[in-house]
């Protein structure tokens, strides 16, 4: 605590105005004293000697006779070994311990240590006396689950430091001194395995920021092939309620080609968060066969919690992601749902009496969302290793309206747009990503020409489908009808995917390339078909056999037997691949 004290002079919901005597900084943490409790808050605006604070608790009982103590510290998280597998609230309180302390209803004003202070970690030094180190450099390692956790020089250290003393290999607690560093002025600094870092300050202790180019394979065909995400990139998943965002997030978390997954439930409905808390420990990591929670962190702030905590949970998540990126790891941060965060900003902006923007959201909505997504990226560290933070944010626009401000502000800064469709989800076509409205700026695992050819077939088939709704099937030519059946075939056997099957739910890169080439050859083939009923029966049979093949293990005898059966069905109809499609397939090899 500092010597700066204050007194509450006004209360407006979860915002309090405090008159203070001394020095106060923006984003500084303070505690409001009420009824023997200390309620945590953050300074969000300063006017003269009056500070507005957003309180991260219910503000019942706060009145104008309440005192305030300022800490001198910015809103921060504690980083170090022991983060993986934890479930935190927006302020990094471990929720299981908080529940043990408070019971069924969480007690306000209770703040617990984010890391276990009694656990001993097996420390192995990597630096030696006399070494020169900088902020973010590793001085030693400890094992944490399946990873080697690097003990780093705190990010707030400026300039170079010389290692004066380093602990020997052994077991230490997180607050035991493991190294003594001397700065350029000759002052000594003791460091331990953990330190704190302000959540609203991006970590930039790296040598070079790289362009995200390598695909982050999710094993979801519709994403990897048509709307890919790059490691270190950004994407958003807007969609109406019930369109499948939660299942898509679970599938991505389990199968994405990343080391660590961080889920920030920033104001999602309590029921869905409970579902996440129950299902994540039961999800198996396909790499190890053990619980996915061993490489997952969940930050839980439901819609029933104070709105100010939604913002804290978003920044807590991205700060922890940047911390693990500094170890050369690939991290996926899933923020669900950023609409709730934006609504919290709107509520606080109204209480601050700021000039509102569109739909009463604050005028700085776009810049705030952009600054969050800009913390994603792939970087080269000083030791030559490369780490990445990929951010995927879901948006919950009212009524599925993608023209609303939060969705539009997000679309301006992300690299891929996975728009969920109510029409597709109602038709049980999952994942319900709309193939016509969605887009990506990143490189696919499949040749671009092949992807564009398939999208063109799908688009033209969708146009024929719309036309048939007006003129009927009778008013459609046989060629157009076959084009429509080809687009439906592509949708059914490749774009749709069963997330609940061990084989079909996760399609690897080799399988996607192999199967997609076969599909392209079918889309680009001519058939000996004379009438529509014949065409319908043929494509129905082809589709069902292809779906059956999707459930067979790639490379197995069953898989190739199913493929031979498909080849026989094609041969019966005299399938002949067009020459231009053959050229596309050859170029795409």
b/e code 4-14 from CB counts within 10 Å (16+ = b)? bbbebeebeeb
Give just the sign of the alpha carbon dihedral 92, 96, 101, 104. positive
Distance CA 19, CA 358 (A): 32
The answer to the question of whether 240 is labelled as a binding residue is yes
| 318 close to 375: Cβ distance less than 8 angstroms | yes
Distance CA 312, CA 575 (A): 59
Distance CA 261, CA 389 (A): 10
Q: Using CA atoms in the order 354, 360, 364, 366, what is the torsion angle rounded to 10 degrees?
A: 180
| 455 close to 226: Cβ distance less than 8 angstroms | yes
Distance CA 391, CA 347 (A): 25
The answer to the question of whether 239 is labelled as a binding residue is yes
Three-class SS string for 15-49? EEEEEEECCCCCCEEEEEEECCEEEEEEEEEEECC
| 132 close to 161: Cβ distance less than 8 angstroms | yes
The answer to the question of whether 242 is labelled as a binding residue is yes
Distance CA 414, CA 22 (A): 42
Q: Which two tokens stand for residue 322?
A: 């940047």
The answer to the question of whether 241 is labelled as a binding residue is yes
Instruction: Find the angle CA(11)-CA(17)-CA(19) to the nearest 5 degrees.
Output: 135
* Coil/strand/helix, residue 200: coil
Of 430, 433, 585, 436, which Cα lies nearest the Cα of 513?
585
Distance CA 424, CA 89 (A): 34
CB atoms under 10 Å from CB of 330, counted, come to 21
| 63 close to 8: Cβ distance less than 8 angstroms | yes
Q: Which two tokens stand for residue 232?
A: 């270190």
Distances (CA, A) of 223 to 25, 235, 434, 494, 546: 44, 11, 11, 11, 20
The answer to the question of whether 246 is labelled as a binding residue is yes
DSSP single-letter state for residue 252 = H
Q: Read out DSSP for 53-106?
A: EEESS--TT--TT-EEEEEEEESEEEESTT-TT-EE-TT--BHHHHHHHH-SSP
b/e code 225-236 from CB counts within 10 Å (16+ = b)? bbbbbbbbbbbb
| 109 close to 69: Cβ distance less than 8 angstroms | no
The answer to the question of whether 226 is labelled as a binding residue is no
- Phi, psi for residue 281 in degrees, rounded to 5: -65, -20
Burial class, 41, CB count within 10 angstroms (exposed 0-12 / middle 13-18 / buried 19+): buried
Q: Which two tokens stand for residue 164?
A: 């004066």
Annotated binding site for ATP: which residue ranges? 239-246
Residue positions in the annotated binding site?
239-246
């Amino acid at each position: 605590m500092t010597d700066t004290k204050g007194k509450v002079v006004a209360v407006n919901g979860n915002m309090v105005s405090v008159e203070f005597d001394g020095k106060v900084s923006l984003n500084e943490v303070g505690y409001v004293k009420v009824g023997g409790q200390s309620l945590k808050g953050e300074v969000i605006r300063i006017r003269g000697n009056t500070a507005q604070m957003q309180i991260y608790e219910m503000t019942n009982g706060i009145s104008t006779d309440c005192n305030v103590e300022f800490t001198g510290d910015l809103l921060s998280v504690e980083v170090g070994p022991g983060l993986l597998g934890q479930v935190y609230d927006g302020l990094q309180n471990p929720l299981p311990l908080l529940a043990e302390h408070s019971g069924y209803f969480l007690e306000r004003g209770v703040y617990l240590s984010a890391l276990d202070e009694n656990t001993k970690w097996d420390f192995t030094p990597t630096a030696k006396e006399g070494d020169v180190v900088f902020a973010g450099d590793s001085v030693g390692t400890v094992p944490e689950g399946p990873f080697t956790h690097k003990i780093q020089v705190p990010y707030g250290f400026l300039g170079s430091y010389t290692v004066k003393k380093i602990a020997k290999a052994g077991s230490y607690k997180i607050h035991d001194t493991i190294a003594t560093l001397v700065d350029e002025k000759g002052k000594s600094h003791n460091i331990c395995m953990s330190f704190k870092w302000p959540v609203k300050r991006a970590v930039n202790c790296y040598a070079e920021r790289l362009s995200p180019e390598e695909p982050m394979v999710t094993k979801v065909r519709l994403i990897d092939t048509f709307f890919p995400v790059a490691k270190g990139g950004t994407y958003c998943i807007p969609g109406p309620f019930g369109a499948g965002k939660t299942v898509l997030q679970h599938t991505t978390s389990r199968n994405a080609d990343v080391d660590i997954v961080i889920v920030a439930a920033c104001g999602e409905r309590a029921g869905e968060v409970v579902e996440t808390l129950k299902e994540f420990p039961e999800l198996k990591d396909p790499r190890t066969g053990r619980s996915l929670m061993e490489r997952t962190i969940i930050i839980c702030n439901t819609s029933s919690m104070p709105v100010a905590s939604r913002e804290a949970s978003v920044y807590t998540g991205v700060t922890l992601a940047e911390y693990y990126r500094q170890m050369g790891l690939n991290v996926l941060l899933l923020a669900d749902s950023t609409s709730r965060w934006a609504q919290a900003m709107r509520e606080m902006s109204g209480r601050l009496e700021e000039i509102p923007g569109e739909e009463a959201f604050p005028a700085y909505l776009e810049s705030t969302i952009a600054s969050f997504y800009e913390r994603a990226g792939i970087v080269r560290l000083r030791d030559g290793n490369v780490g990445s933070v990929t951010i995927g944010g879901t948006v919950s626009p009212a009524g599925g309206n993608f023209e609303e401000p939060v969705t539009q502000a997000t679309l301006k800064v992300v690299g891929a747009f996975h728009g969920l469709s109510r029409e597709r989800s109602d038709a049980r076509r999952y994942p319900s990503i709309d193939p016509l409205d969605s887009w990506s700026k990143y490189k696919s695992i499949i040749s671009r020409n092949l992807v564009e050819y398939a999208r063109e077939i799908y688009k033209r088939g969708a146009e024929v489908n719309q036309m048939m709704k007006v003129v009927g099937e009778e008013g459609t030519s046989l060629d157009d009808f076959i084009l429509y059946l080809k687009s439906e075939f592509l949708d059914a056997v490749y774009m749709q995917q069963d997330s609940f099957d061990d084989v079909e739910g996760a399609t690897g890169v080799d399988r996607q390339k192999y199967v997609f080439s076969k599909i392209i050859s079918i889309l680009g083939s001519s058939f000996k078909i004379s009438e529509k009923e014949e065409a319908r029966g043929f494509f129905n049979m082809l589709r069902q056999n292809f779906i059956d093949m999707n459930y067979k293990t790639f490379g197995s005898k069953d898989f190739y037997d199913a493929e031979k059966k498909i080849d026989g069905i094609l041969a019966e109809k005299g399938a002949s691949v067009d020459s231009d499609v053959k050229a596309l397939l050859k170029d795409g090899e």
